[in-house]
Structure 1
Amino acid sequence: MGNGSNVTVHFSPFSPSDASGRAGASRAPSRPAAVGRAAALAAAGLVLVLLGLVVVRLPWAGDLGMHAATLQRLRHSPLDPGNPLVDADTPSPYYSPWMVLLGGLARVTGLDVFDVLRLAAAAGLLLLVTGVWRYVRTLSAHPAAPALALLSLLLLWGTTPFLWSGFPGLHSLALTAAYPSTLTLGLAFHFWAWLAKALRGAAGWGAWTALGVLWAVILLCHQFSGIVASAGAVATVVAARAARVVWPRVAVASAVGVVALWAWPYYDFFALFGAAGDGLEPVHRALYGQPAARYGLVLPGVAALVARWRRDRRDPLAVFFLLGVVIVGAGWLSGHYSWGRALPAVVIPAQLALALAVVGAGRRWVRAGWAVLLGGALVAGGWAQSGALGYVVPKDALPGVVADRYRAPWKGYGWITPWVGYGDVVMARGRAARQVPAYGGYTVAPGYPDFFLPDEARRAAVTEAYFGARTPQAVRRGAEREYGVRWVVDRGGGLLGDPGLRVVARGPEGLVLYAVR
Structure 2
Amino acid sequence: MRAAPRPAVLAAQAAAAVAVLLLLLVIVRLPWAGDLGMHAATVQRLRHDLVDPGNPLVDADTPSPYYSPWMLVLGCVARVSRLSVFVVLRLGALAGLGLLVTGVWRYVRTLDGHRAAPALAVLSLLFLWGTALFNWSGFHGLNSLALTVSYPSVFALGLAFHLWAWLGRAARRGAGWGTWLGLGALWAVILLCHQFSGVVASLGAAATVLAARPGRGTWLRLGGGVAVALGVLLLWPYYDFFALFGAGDGLEAVHRPLYEDLLGRYWLVLLGVVALGMRWRRDRWDPLVLFFLLGVVVVAAGGLSGHYAWGRALPAALIPAQLAAALEAVTAGRRAVRAGWACVLGAALAAGAWTQAGTLGYVVPRGELPEAVAEKYRQPWAGYHWMTPWVRYGDVVMARAGRPARQIPAYGAYTVAPGYPDFFLPDEGRRAEAVRRYFAEGTPDGERGEILRAYGVRWVVAGAWLGEGARGAGLREVARGPGGQVLYAVVR
**TM-score, structure 1 as length reference:** 0.93
Q: Which residue of 1 aligns with 2:157?
A: 185
Q: Which amino acid aligns with 1:321?
A: F
- Give, as a single letter, the amino acid of the residue that structure 1 aligns with 2:269: V
1:23-82 Cα distance to aligned partner (Å, 9 max, x none): x4xxxx46xx21110000010011011000000000000000000000010000110000
Which of 265, 282, 285 in structure 2 is aligned with 1:314?
285
1:469–1:494 Cα contact (<8 Å) kept: no
What secondary structure is seen at the aligned counterpart in 2 of 1:513? strand
Contact 1:434/1:446, CA 8 A, preserved across alignment: yes
Match for 1:60 among 28, 32, 36?
Answer: 32
- How far is 1:361 from its partner? 4.8
Deviations 1:320-359 (A, max 9, x none): 0000000000000100000000000000000000110011
1:504 aligns with 2:478: yes
Query: 335, 342, 346: which is aligned to 2:306?
Result: 335
Tell me which amino acid in the other structure corresponds to 1:134.
Answer: R
How far does the alpha carbon of each residue in 1:197-256 deviate from its partner, in whole angstroms, 9 at most, with x for none? 111224211111110000000000000000000000000001101111111001111111
How far is the alpha carbon of 1:447 from its aligned partner? Answer: 1.0
What letter matches 1:356 in structure 2? L
Aligned amino acid, residue 490 of structure 2: V
Deviation at 1:292, TM superposition (A): 1.2
Matches of 2:441 and 2:326 in 1, distance apart? 57
Residue identity over aligned pairs, in percent, reads 67
Work out the CA distance in 2 between the residues paired with 1:61 and 1:247: 43
Measure, in 2, the Cα distance between the counterparts of 1:448 and 1:332: 22
Q: Where do 1:125-164 residues align within 5 Å?
A: 125-164=97-136
Query: 1:109 maps to what in 2?
Result: 81
* Number of the residue aligned with 1:326: 297
User: Aligned letter for 2:83?
Assistant: L
Q: Please say if 1:256 is aligned against 2:234.
A: no
Identify the residue that residue 11 of structure 1 maps to in structure 2: none
Letter aligned with residue 183 of structure 2: L
- Would you say the 8 A contact 1:387–1:407 is kept in 2? yes
Select which of 451, 459, 469 maps to 1:479: 451
Q: Is the 8 A contact 1:422 1:439 kept in 2?
A: yes
C-alpha separation in 2, matches of 1:202 and 1:482:
61
Runs of 4+ in 1 over 4 A off after TM superposition: none
Residue in 1 aligned with 2:337?
Answer: 366
- Cα distance in 1 for partners of 2:273, 2:174 equals 34
User: Which amino acid counterpart does residue 423 of structure 1 have in structure 2?
Assistant: G
What is aligned with 2:139? 167
Corresponding residue number in structure 2 for 1:12: none
Residue deviations 1:375-412 (CA, integer Å, cap 9, x gap):
01100000000000000001111111111111100011
Question: 2:264 aligned with 1:293, yes or no?
Answer: yes
Aligned pair partner of 1:220 in 149, 169, 192? 192
Pair 1:391-2:377 in alignment: no
Structure 2: how far apart are the matches of 1:261 and 1:330?
Answer: 26
Q: Is the 8 A contact 1:158 1:298 kept in 2?
A: yes
Q: Which of 470, 473, 488 is equivalent to 1:514?
A: 488
Residue in 2 aligned with 1:4? Answer: none
Residue 65 (structure 2) pairs with residue 93 (structure 1): yes
Count of matched residue positions in the alignment of Structure 1 and Structure 2 = 488
Q: Contact (CA 8 Å) 2:174, 2:218: kept in 1 or not?
A: no
Equivalent of 2:323, from 337, 344, 352? 352
Query: SS where residue 469 of structure 2 aligns?
Result: coil
Within the alignment, does 1:415 sit opposite 2:386 as a pair?
Answer: yes
**1:234-245 correspondence to structure 2 within 5 Å:** 234-245=206-217
Whether 2:461 is the aligned partner of 1:492: answer no
Match for 2:484: what amino acid?
G
Tell me the CA shift for residue 460 of structure 1.
0.6
Question: Does the 8 Å CA contact 1:216/1:257 hold for their aligned counterparts?
Answer: yes
In 2: Cα distance, 1:461 partner to 1:259 partner: 39
Aligned residue in 2 for 1:13:
none
Partner Cα separation in structure 2 for residue 48 and residue 271 of structure 1:
37
1:498 deviates by 2.2
**Is the contact made by 1:191 and 1:215 (CA closer than 8 Å) also made in structure 2?**
yes
Once residues 139 and 456 of structure 1 are traced to their aligned partners in structure 2, the CA distance between those partners, rounded to angstroms, is 47
Partners of 1:504 and 1:514 within 8 A in 2: yes
SS of aligned partner of 1:95: coil
How far off is 1:468 after superposition?
1.7
TM-score (norm 2): 0.98
Match of 2:18 in 1: 46
* d(CA) in 2 for partners of 1:491, 1:174: 30
SS at match of 1:433: helix
- Cα deviation digits, residues 93-123 of structure 1 (max 9, x gap): 0000000110011000001000000001111
The answer as to whether partners of 1:155 and 1:381 remain within 8 angstroms in 2 is yes
Partners in 1 of 2:133 and 2:97 — Cα distance? 19
Separation of aligned partners in 1, 2:378 and 2:175: 48
Q: CA RMSD in A?
A: 0.9
* Counterpart residue type for residue 515 of structure 1: A
- Of 304-313 and 322-331, deviating more is 304-313
- Amino acid corresponding to residue 12 of structure 2 in structure 1: A
Residue matched to 1:9: none
| Aligned-partner Cα distance in 2 for 1:370–1:330 | 32
The separation in 2 between residues aligned to 1:373 and 1:244, in whole angstroms, is 43
1:394-441 deviation per Cα after TM superposition (whole angstroms, max 9, x unaligned): 111111111111110001100111100000000001311111100000
What is the one-letter code of the residue matched to 1:130? T
Is the CA contact (8 Å cut-off) linking 2:397 and 2:459 kept in structure 1?
yes
Question: Which SS does the other structure have where 2:99 is aligned?
Answer: helix
Shift in Å at residue 283 of structure 1? 1.2
Partner of 2:420: 448
Alignment partners' CA distance in 2, 1:271 and 1:245: 33
In 1, Cα distance between the equivalents of 2:217 and 2:50? 43
Residues 378-387 or 395-404, more deviating:
395-404
Amino acid at match of 1:508: P
Letter of the 2:291 counterpart: F
Letter in 2 for 1:348: I
